[in-house]
């Protein structure tokens, strides 16, 4: 099966999967410069349902029909991977419901030959209070950190999170539908998150099966620690660069690192080129909307396995981007796309850029209140 071959090839350290094994009949194509490019092996999107502002909402309000529809959209772009996270807080409420939802998600993805990178804990967002977990107001709803800061502060509180890890691994450590298991997203350099993430990674290692282990790494530099922990796959994120050359250099570094350490290196979060420098850089009047075509050709040329943020059109995940008026995504809920250029550039990573759908570069009606933060040009003010 395609999904099984893909994961096994990535388990082989440093191996480059063949076009036939990873992409079936996909054989590559010429890029905009007329250079033949084989398909990028791992072509993925980060996934939360359009109206889920955090991973708690994704699982607590899990809708099988919505997930199947959305994964169908992913398949229409020839994507073969998605990245998302389970949720510790929902597991504490109803572990059996969480298990049923995870099982359905993995089955729905496998039916579409989509492998899943599934994370356990989230280092980004506001505190997981009841109000934050359940908030669906586009002006205030946000990502939530998991677990809470108070939980991270004392090691004697970590036993329940270890139980969560063991519960997950007992069910999924050998699951062929998983590309990898991610201990935590972006513990970064924060000491509390790092201590906790390392401890949870140690528990993952104790419960290790055949599925590779990884960490959602803020940068290539963070991987020095994750290699010491025993990570099988390395990741790095760069959502907003201000010029393509920055990403070209970063991807070259990633390919060199993969060769040096003999492990896969995945570009597991990216979005677009924009004027401001860095994640918190200025968002000008034309930088707030999706523009994956500004970077997809660069990634295709480098041949780096990757996940873009995000499959579904939705207000930005974190507060700093939301209050800059940023919207992410390719697909509206009805299957229209924000940009045909974006959809075709993403699909081109498979060697096929033919894609047709309605193009609708508009905020979803259910999130229109957040458009008050969209930057306006001089003529609009």
Residue whose C-alpha is closest to residue 251's, from 291, 285, 191, 298: 298
Distance between CA atoms of residues 91 and 112, nearest Å: 26
Please, which pLDDT band fits residue 377 given cuts at 50, 70 and 90? low
SS3 at position 174: coil
Spatial separation of the C-alpha atoms in residues 90 and 92, rounded to whole Å? 5
pLDDT > 70 in the chain, percent:
90
pLDDT attached to residue 36: 64
Mean pLDDT to the nearest integer, 371-376 = 89
Give the tokens for residue 298.
């660069």
Mean pLDDT of 92-118: 98
Least confident of 45-54, 168-177, 251-260, 270-279: 270-279
pLDDT, residue 39, reads 94
Return the pLDDT at 25: 58
**Exposed (0-12), middle (13-18) or buried (19+): which is 167, by Cβ within 10 Å?**
middle
| Residue-wise pLDDT tens digits, 217-238 | 999 999 999 999 999 999 999 9
| pLDDT higher than 60, residue 1 | no
Summarised one tens digit per residue, pLDDT across range 10-56 is: 344 333 333 333 334 576 676 667 776 789 999 999 999 999 999 99
**Average pLDDT, stretch 361-368?**
96
- Asked if residue 2 has pLDDT above 70, the reply is no
pLDDT at 380: 47
According to the model, what pLDDT value does residue 15 have? 35
pLDDT in tens, 278-287: 787 888 888 9
Cα end-to-end span (Å), the chain: 55
Collapsed DSSP state (helix, strand, coil) of residue 130: helix
Question: Does residue 4 carry a pLDDT above 80?
Answer: no
- pLDDT (tens digit per residue) in 120-148: 999 999 999 999 999 999 999 999 999 99
Task: Please tell me the distance from the alpha carbon of residue 86 to that of residue 84, in angstroms, as a whole number.
Answer: 7
What integer is the mean pLDDT of 320-332?
94
Query: What percentage of the chain reaches a pLDDT higher than 90?
Result: 83
Q: Which whole number is the average pLDDT over 195-206?
A: 98
């Amino acid at each position: 099966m395609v999904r099984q071959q893909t994961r096994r090839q990535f388990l082989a350290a440093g191996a480059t999967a063949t076009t036939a094994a990873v992409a079936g009949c996909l054989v590559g194509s010429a890029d905009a410069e007329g250079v033949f490019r084989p398909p990028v092996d791992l072509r993925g999107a980060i996934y939360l349902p359009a109206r889920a502002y955090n991973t708690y909402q994704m699982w607590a309000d899990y809708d099988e029909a919505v997930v199947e529809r959305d994964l169908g959209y992913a398949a229409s772009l020839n994507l073969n991977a998605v990245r998302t996270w389970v949720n510790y807080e929902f597991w504490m409420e109803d572990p059996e419901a969480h298990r049923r939802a995870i099982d359905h998600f993995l089955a729905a993805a496998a039916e579409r030959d989509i492998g899943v990178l599934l994370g356990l804990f989230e280092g980004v967002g506001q505190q997981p209070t009841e109000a934050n977990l359940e908030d669906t107001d586009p002006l205030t709803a946000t990502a939530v950190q998991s677990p809470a800061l108070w939980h991270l502060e004392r090691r004697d509180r970590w036993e329940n999170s270890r139980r969560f890890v063991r519960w997950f691994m007992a069910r999924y450590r050998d699951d062929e539908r998983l590309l990898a298991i991610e201990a935590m997203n972006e513990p970064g350099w924060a000491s509390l998150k790092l201590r906790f993430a390392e401890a949870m990674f140690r528990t993952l290692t104790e419960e290790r099966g055949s599925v590779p282990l990884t960490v959602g790494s803020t940068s290539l530099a963070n991987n020095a620690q994750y290699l010491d922990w025993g990570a099988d796959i390395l990741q790095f994120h760069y959502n907003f660069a201000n010029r393509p050359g920055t990403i070209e250099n970063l991807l070259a570094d990633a390919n060199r690192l993969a060769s040096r350490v003999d492990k896969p290196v995945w570009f597991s979060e990216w979005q677009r080129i924009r004027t401001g420098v860095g994640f918190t850089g200025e968002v000008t009047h034309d930088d707030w909307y999706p523009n994956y075509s500004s970077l997809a050709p660069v990634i295709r040329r480098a041949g780096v396995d990757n996940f873009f943020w995000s499959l579904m059109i939705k207000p930005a995940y974190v507060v700093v981007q939301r209050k800059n008026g940023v919207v992410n995504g390719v697909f509206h809920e009805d299957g229209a796309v924000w940009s045909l250029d974006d959809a075709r550039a993403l699909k081109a990573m498979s060697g096929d850029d033919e894609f047709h759908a309605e193009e609708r570069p508009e905020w979803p009606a259910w999130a229109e209140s957040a458009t008050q933060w969209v930057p306006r040009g001089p003529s609009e003010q």
